[in-house]
A and B are shown apart, each in its own frame.
Chain A
Amino acid sequence: MTREEVLQKVVPVISDKLGIEEEQVVGDAHFINDLGADSLGLVDITMALEEEFGLEIPDEDAGKLETVNSMIDYILKAV
């Protein structure tokens, strides 16, 4: 899967879960500082992406994924 393909799937999930426009979900956006996520929102996004890509993101990894880019990098490595 290419980075572009992952991005295409990740953006709508984040936009839906946080109730924000897809245009706001840019690569270097920080989930909490830029996109207004709280801890529950982050868990919600993580679980939705696990389902979307059929993978499991352990809590200790999930805690480090603070930006959209880091999330995409992680998924690219995992799938």
Chain B
Amino acid sequence: MAIPKSVLITGASRGIGQQIAYQFAKQGSFVAINYPFESEKENALHTLHEVQKLGSQGNIYEADVSNLAAVEDMVKQMKSDIGTIDVLVANAGITKDKLIMRMTPQDWEQVLHINLSGAFHCTKAVTKEMMREKKGRIVYISSVIGMIGNAGQANYAASKGGMIALCKSVAKEFGSRNITANCVAPGYIMTDMTQNLPKEATDQFMSRVSIQRYGTMEDVANAVLFLSSDQAAYITGQVLVVDGGLTL
């Protein structure tokens, strides 16, 4: 598989983003590890050390993706460090799960801001560079929840569904510049984010998964790697569902 020279992964200090960083590092890409704020810096540094142990180069970049100016500064910095940005993996995301009756406008806005506006900001910043190069890959980490909805996750579902629509628009808008945009939609994956779900929700999900196990972060990262490779050059605007059959 021909692997990109450089990749920017948002929210790479933990969870799926971190695993994606490791997968790219194994292939020898320069890995730009984004983290949101000072208190995540240590985790980001840990990710970077692991990336280096895997034999790759990288750097850490602090930026709150919900702030366009911060994202633009990060992209500028990355550009001066490595020259080109071949791939963006828009992964940064949070949850604030509540039933709608209990969900405040702040709960709603915060999730939309970070998950969806964050993806827009990153797209806006990197496409400027990718246009110049006349090539680029964008992979959005959406979720099956963005396709099928979920009680208690209206904000998260809306943000992840919005990402799919954003992705398809990006695919159309930048296709002529050889920039592809695709989504990976993970199902039930073992992460920090899912391990705190109530047991009954977990059991309910698991009973619907054809491949009778949780997904791993590596399962997700492999899909991201594929969509970022030369082999996926003619695939754009698509949603690759990595859910063991959950949504079938």
Contact = CB atoms under 8 A, between A and B. Distances in A.
B75 to A, nearest CB: 15
B128 to A, nearest CB: 8
Interface string A22-57: 000000000000000010100010010000000000
Nearest to A43: B131
Q: Majority SS of interface residues in chain A? A: helix
Interface string B139-176: 00000000000000000000000000000000001101
A45 to B, nearest CB: 11
Interface of B: 128, 131, 173-174, 176-177
A52 B173 CA distance: 25
Contacts, number: 8
A38 B131 contact: no
A44 B131 contact: yes
Given A40-B176, A44-B131, 6 more contacts: A38-B176, A40-B131, A40-B173, A40-B174, A40-B177, A47-B128
Contacts of A40: 131, 173-174, 176-177
8 contacts: A38-B176, A40-B131, A40-B173, A40-B174, A40-B176, A40-B177, A44-B131, A47-B128
Nearest to A16: B132
Interface string A58-71: 00000000000000
Contacts of A44: 131
Nearest to B173: A40
Q: Which of A38, A40, A44, A47 counts the most chain B CB atoms within 10 A?
A: A40
Contacts of B173: 40
A44 B173 CA distance: 13
A13 to B, nearest CB: 12
A51 B176 CA distance: 24
